[in-house]
Each structure stands twice: as structure tokens, then as C-alpha cells.
Structure 1
Amino acid sequence: MRASFSAQALFAGLLAAFVGFASSFAVVLQGLTAVGASPAQAASGLTALAIAMGLCGVVLSLWRRLPITVAWSTPGAALLAGSAVPDGGFPAAVGAFIVAALLVLVAGLWKPLGRAVARIPAPIANAMLAGVLFGLCLAPVRAVQEMPALALPVVLTWLLVGRFNRLLAVPAAVLVTAGLLWWQAPDLGAVSLAPVAVFVMPVFDTTAMMGLALPLFLVAMASQNIPGMAVLNVNGYRPDPGPLFTATGLFSLAAAPLGGHGVNLAAITAALCAGETAHPERSRRWWAAVVAGIGYCAFGIVSAAAAAFIAAAPPILIQAVAGLALLGSFGAAIVAGLSEPADREAAVVTFLVTASGLTVFGIGGAFWGLVAGGVVMVVARYRR
């Protein structure tokens, strides 16, 4: 049966959930705290986001039978971390979260946006994906340089196992990483396993709408939803983006009163679930996204203990595992992006701008890479 479950999808989904949660939960907590959340409210927001993105990913993947991975807005959390507490305190921030979710919902119902996303040229989309993945693919090298005693066992495990079975290389590296994390974990006996849920009555403040809601919406669409669709397109999936954006808006709306700033389509973890890491057959990769969604929900339920456990390891070690898993996706994206000589210059510009980490108006390099590459491509084609 072509759509049957596979061990490869299981490992890819677990890795996606592990990387998605572990690599950025600290940014989420920092962002919520920066706009006035108490420790309990920040923990509630983390729990709400993890469960919302998990359930949204499971629902969309089962509904569409496609590897649709959902993540919290890491750029949005970074934007919050650089913001000040609004005049109305955290309730005003929650009001801004609700408005931002409503804007995403409206964008999902607006057909021209979906058509614009679907028309992104393949060389530009592939080069953008390569730029997004480039930083993570460098992480194994950085990890070996910074902490060879921890990173070398992970990299050597991946290399040696991959020599005999390429499909088992990343799962083996994950198991070694889990062992290292367990070895370094603090005493979790005093950490409560109960999920935290704190309802916040929203306050709709005009200043917070302009200073938080609108930037959160733009960041979610430009830095996450559009690149997330591009990752799906690169891997051969072309769903109608409107219903996907609408779904993420609805789940963001549900998480907002509990302190969640928003969920959206994933980009980096989407490459784990939509690429060959999940399965050689495209028709069987959606199981990886389902597993990732279940994993996110599990992390949300025990987010306090999970945060304490994962925080025991340096972030670069977690990123190194993701980088090893994404080397294949990075190579395929580079080859596809540069395959057309006529569009090669535009693809290179897209890659460089995306990989540069450029941020303008709070919008990340993935969006500006698409813009820069698109401009170069239009000028080149006009010249021809």
C-alpha cells in the first residue's frame, strides 16, 4: 500500500518535532516575557503553541494526505523579544496576537495571494530553500569546532552508519544525541509534568495593533508561510495555499488567549518531512508530518519537563543533528536552483540574500531573497 506507514517516516517526524521544539523554544519564552508575560503566562503560551501547531499539522496532513508541517513563528518570537511591553501590558499583547491571527485568516481567504505564491519560479524557490538550510547545514562543522567531545560522536555515528545504510544514518545520530542529552540532563524530579494553561483576557490597544499585530502578520506570511509553501513546491507538492493559511490562522486564534503569538507553515522542519529524509516515495511522506504533529503535542503536554531536559544541551548540538539530516535536501535544492543557465544569476542572488540573515522591517532573509532573485530574473528576462 503506497500510503502505508514506515519507520523512516517515524524517525523523520520525531526528528522534526525534536528540532522544531528544541531549537527555538527559548526564543518563544524570551519573546513572550519581553511583552509582559509572567513566567506562568509564558509557560502557558509555550504549551498552547506546541499543541496548536501539532494539532494543525496532524489535521492538515490527514486531510490533504500531504506532508504539511506547522511551526510556531520563530521570527515572530524574535520580533517580540526585541519589543517593549505595550501600554496595556501582556493583555494588550494578547489582543495583538488575536488581530494578527485574524489577518492571516483573511489572507488565506484572499485568492490573489495564493496565486502569487504558486507562481514563484522553481529556480528561485529552490535557491531560497538552499539559503534557508545553509545555516543549519553548517551547524555540524561549528559543533565539532566548539564541542568536539559531544559533536564528534554524533557526526561519526552518522558517517559510519550511513556507509552501510543511508536511511538509518540520521536515526542513529538522533539516538546518540538523545543519549548525550540524557547524560547531561539536570535532575528533573522537581519539575512538574502538568501542562500550564493561563487564560488572558485580551485588551485591544491601537498602539499594540500597529506595533505588534501588523508586524507579526507580515513576519508570519513573509518569513514562514510563503517559504513554507515554496518548500512544499520544491519537493513536488502543490496544494492550494489558501486553506493552509486559513487553518493556521484558526489555530493561532485558538492559542492566542492562552498566550500563543501564532503558528504558521514550517520551512526548515518542512524540509525534513517533505524531502527524501521522510521516504523515497512522495506518497508516503505525509506520515512524517503526522508524527511530527503528535510529537509537538507531546512536547506541549510536558513542555516544562521537555524544556528543562533539552536546555541541558547546547543549542548547537541540536542544530548539528538537523544539519546532518538536511544535507540531502540542501544538495538537491542547490542543484535544482542552478540547473537553468539562464536563471542561474537570479538563483545565486536569491541564495546569497536568503543565507545572509538579512532582516528589514522585522522580515527575514527568505522573503528578501525571493524579492531580490525575482527582480534579477525579471531584469534578465526583459534584457533578453
Structure 2
Amino acid sequence: MSVVSKFLADVKQDWSVSAITSGFIAVLVSYAGPLLIVFQAARIAHLSDAELSSWIWAISFSSGLAGMLLSAWFRAPVIASWSTPGAVLLVSGWAGYSFAESVGAFIFSAVLVVILGYSGLFSAIMERIPRGIIAAMLAGILLKFGVDVFVSLKQMPLVALPMFVVYLLSKRYCPRYAVAATLLSGLASAGLLHELAPVAIRMALVEPVYTAPVFSLKAIVGLGLPLCIVTMVSQNATGIGVLKVDGYDLPPNPLIGVTGIASLLSAPFGSHGVNLAAITAAICTGKEAHAQPEKRYVAGIACGVFYMLLSLFGATVVAIFSAFPAELVAVIAGVALFGSLGSSLSSAMETEKDKESALVTFLITISGITLLGIGAPFWGLIGGMITYGILTGNIRWLRQKLAPVK
């Protein structure tokens, strides 16, 4: 039996409705939220409809391909996605550069990511951070999604409440299908209450637009370098943390390297960067995807396939997802992340000597502070590491952790 035949046979045996649903929900959450930031950035850069559609295709297809290949390679739910902090960065600073200069900066950023990944520098950095601190950072990121479930109960109770009740009953009697049942109940409730927004849908295949890069020093320094930093710190570090918390201790180097290559190849078509997903990854790495961790890789593959299929229709996909009420998306994302949030909190407080530093990390992360253009998760890690070094009295440990990686 060939390697491909054996792999297909394994997938056929390991697949489950819960895994496929988790992969779909991960895509749903990405399109219903972070992709809207891409539209904001596109308006600021005055992109044409063709360029915007190409951008959506590039980030979706490259994310899906990278995630699918990595999930199949490592037999783990490795989810890739576009850089949400990177899109936010573009919203705030894109106006000063032409699109061709931006593409040059995207390529520069991707090359840096590949170097950091395959050189082992990123892996060495991740090994220096205690597991409890990483878990606390993840818990801080996921907390808002859990809280939003109950905020939605107030804002749209006739949609959110039935979803939550269905979730609880499904967890009691058929836990593997809890998230799928919750999604279906939400769509049914929203449809009956006419809460699904009317949209004009025109089905058309995307036509990728190639943009020749222009390598401008001002764009490389002002856009490419910050893009690499926020992608590595806010996305890849968190993505590795999600995998570790759920028991997938994978080598970071090839994970980062593959997403960097995907970014490099898709940049001329508008992609600002592909990286390891964090929040959407947690949807596929937890128990809701499958009770057996070794079979959750199917969720990663499914997520990748959905990304690639939907990428073919570019902006048409966004019109469909924008019809869903925000509360429906919030509830389905929140309940899908309950398991990951619970395990993160448990892991953060598991070791007595890590509790204080984990708490500091958690509180800084949920504060949402931004310093020097870098978000709260990074500063949560830094604050937790400093707290750990001081409280343990091991200043030498602290100096080692903060010292440059050789």
C-alpha cells in the first residue's frame, strides 16, 4: 500500500462529524470576524474589487493549503490562517505606501519568518517560556469568547438562548455532536426570526491578480518589519501555545517555516501573511473536535479544505457569512472554545510555583493593552516571565530567559 493510500485509509477510518464541523466552524469564525478587517484595510489602500478578491483568495487558499499539509504531516490539528494583527497594522499604516511597495514589504516579512522558523531561533525562544505562562496567555485570549456567549444571551436571547440550551443537552447526551447541533439550532432560530440579513449573492470564480513587487526601504522598515514582528509574537507564539496546551508538542521550526513559505508564494497576489492560527486553532484542538486527540488531525484537514474551496469565490463568501447575526457567530465560537478555555485555566494553575506568574500573564492579556504597536498577549508573556523570576528569587533564570538566543 502506498503512503497516499494508507493516509486516505486512515482518514476514512478516523473522520467524524464533530471533526468536520469543528473545521467548518474555524473557517466560519475567521470569515465572520477577522476577514472584515481586510475589507477595512482594502478601503484605505483604495484597492480595486479585483485586487481585493485576489487578496481574499491568496490568504484563504494559502492558509488552507499550509494547514492541510501540516495537519496531514504531523497527524495533529495544525490550523493556519492569515495574520489578523497584520491586517490591523495595515489599517493603521497602509495609506503611505503603494500596493506594489506593500507587496515588496510582504515578501520581505515572509523571508524573515522563514529564516526565524528554519534557523531554530523561534523554537529556542519558545522553549524558554514555562508551560503555565503559555497556558495563562491562551486563557486570557479565549476568555472574551466565553464571556461573549452570555453577552449574546442578553442582546439576542431568542437566538442565543436556544443555542446554549441545545449545547448543554447535546453535551449531556451526544457530546461529539454538541457544536454541530448548536450551529444548526442557531441557523434555524435566526431563520425563523428573520435575523439572517438579506444579501445579494453573485457566484463568480476568483481571478487572481499578480502584482509585481517594488522593494522600497520605507515600506520594508515601516511595514515589512513590523508585520513580521506582530505575526511572530501575536500569532505564531500563541499558535504554538495552543498546540502545547492541548498536548501537541510539535517542533515549531517546520510549522513556522511552512507558513512562511506559504506567505512568500502568495504575497504577489496580495497576501499580507500566513501564520499559525490561535483562536480558530483552539476550536480544532479541543475535545469538541474529537474525544481522542490522535484523531483531531481530521479537523485540521477539513479546515484546510474548506478554506481552499471557499477561496475560489473570493468576496462572494464574505457576503454569505455577513448574513449571520453577530450573536450567532459569538455563541458558536464561544461554546466551541469552552473546552480549550477550561483546559488552559487548569494548566495555568497546575503548578504551585507558576500560579502567581500565570495570574499576572492572564490579567495583562485580558487587559488588552497595546505598547509599541504590540498587543497584550506578548506583554502578558513578558510580565509573567519577569514575575516568575522575581518571585522564585532566581534572577539568574530571569537573565537567561531575557538574554538573546544564540
Structure-2-length-normalised TM-score: 0.89
Residue 155 of structure 2: aligned partner: 146
Gapped runs of 5+ residues in structure 1? Answer: none
Contact 1:58/1:293 (<8 A) preserved: yes
Opposite residue 311 of structure 2, the aligned amino acid is G
| Aligned match for 2:377, one of 355, 360, 366 | 366
What's the CA shift for 1:36?
Answer: 4.1
What's the CA shift for 1:148?
Answer: 2.0
- Structure 1 residues 116, 187: CA separation in 2 closer, same or farther (over 3 Å shift)? closer
Contact 1:70/1:263 (<8 A) preserved: yes
Equivalences for residues 43-192 of structure 1 within 5 A: 43-87=53-97, 89-179=98-188, 184-189=196-201, 191-192=202-203
Q: How far apart are the structure 1 equivalents of 2:181 and 2:56?
A: 29
Residue 16 of structure 1: aligned partner: 26
| Aligned match for 2:246, one of 210, 215, 235 | 235
| Aligned match for 1:33, one of 33, 43, 46 | 43
Q: How far apart are the structure 1 equivalents of 2:82 and 2:333?
A: 17
The alignment-based identity, stated in percent, is 37
Aligned residues: 382
Opposite residue 39 of structure 1, the aligned amino acid is D
What's the CA shift for 1:226?
Answer: 0.6
Contact 2:54/2:314 (<8 A) preserved: no
Q: How far apart are the structure 2 equivalents of 1:126 and 1:11?
A: 25
Runs of 4+ in 1 over 6 A off after TM superposition: none
RMSD of aligned Cα (Å)? 1.9
What's the CA shift for 1:69?
Answer: 0.5
Which stretch of structure 1 is more off in the superposition, 290-299 or 315-324? 315-324
Residue 275 of structure 1: aligned partner: 286
What's the CA shift for 1:312?
Answer: 1.8
Opposite residue 247 of structure 1, the aligned amino acid is V
**CA-to-partner distance for each residue in 1:159-213, whole Å, 9 max, x for gaps?**
2333322222211111123445665242445x13312411111111111111110
| Aligned match for 1:354, one of 357, 365, 385 | 365
What's the CA shift for 1:157?
Answer: 2.0
| Aligned match for 1:332, one of 330, 333, 343 | 343
Q: How far apart are the structure 2 equivalents of 1:187 and 1:28?
A: 19
Question: What secondary structure does 2:198 align onto?
Answer: coil
Residue 309 of structure 2: aligned partner: 298
**CA-to-partner distance for each residue in 1:228-269, whole Å, 9 max, x for gaps?**
001111111111111111111110111111111011001111
Question: What secondary structure does 2:275 align onto?
Answer: strand
Contact 1:61/1:68 (<8 A) preserved: yes
- 2:388 corresponds to 1:377: yes
Structure-1-length-normalised TM-score: 0.94
| Aligned match for 1:313, one of 318, 324, 327 | 324
What's the CA shift for 1:109?
Answer: 1.7
Q: How far apart are the structure 1 equivalents of 2:312 and 2:189?
A: 23
Opposite residue 252 of structure 2, the aligned amino acid is P
Which stretch of structure 1 is more off in the superposition, 139-148 or 149-158? 149-158
What's the CA shift for 1:326?
Answer: 0.9
Q: How far apart are the structure 1 equivalents of 2:227 and 2:199?
A: 37
What's the CA shift for 1:152?
Answer: 2.3
Opposite residue 390 of structure 2, the aligned amino acid is V
Q: How far apart are the structure 1 equivalents of 2:57 and 2:39?
A: 11
Opposite residue 369 of structure 1, the aligned amino acid is G
What's the CA shift for 1:314?
Answer: 3.4
What's the CA shift for 1:126?
Answer: 1.1
Which stretch of structure 1 is more off in the superposition, 374-383 or 130-139? 374-383
What's the CA shift for 1:345?
Answer: 0.7
Which stretch of structure 1 is more off in the superposition, 153-162 or 124-133? 153-162
Question: What secondary structure does 1:264 align onto?
Answer: strand
Contact 1:44/1:259 (<8 A) preserved: yes
- Structure 1 residues 276, 36: CA separation in 2 closer, same or farther (over 3 Å shift)? same
Opposite residue 256 of structure 2, the aligned amino acid is F
Q: How far apart are the structure 1 equivalents of 2:101 and 2:274?
A: 19
Gapped runs of 5+ residues in structure 2? Answer: 1-9, 396-406
Q: How far apart are the structure 2 equivalents of 1:282 and 1:163?
A: 20
Question: What secondary structure does 1:71 align onto?
Answer: strand
- Structure 1 residues 194, 185: CA separation in 2 closer, same or farther (over 3 Å shift)? farther
Question: What secondary structure does 1:366 align onto?
Answer: helix
Question: What secondary structure does 2:320 align onto?
Answer: helix
What's the CA shift for 1:352?
Answer: 0.9
Q: How far apart are the structure 1 equivalents of 2:157 and 2:207?
A: 37
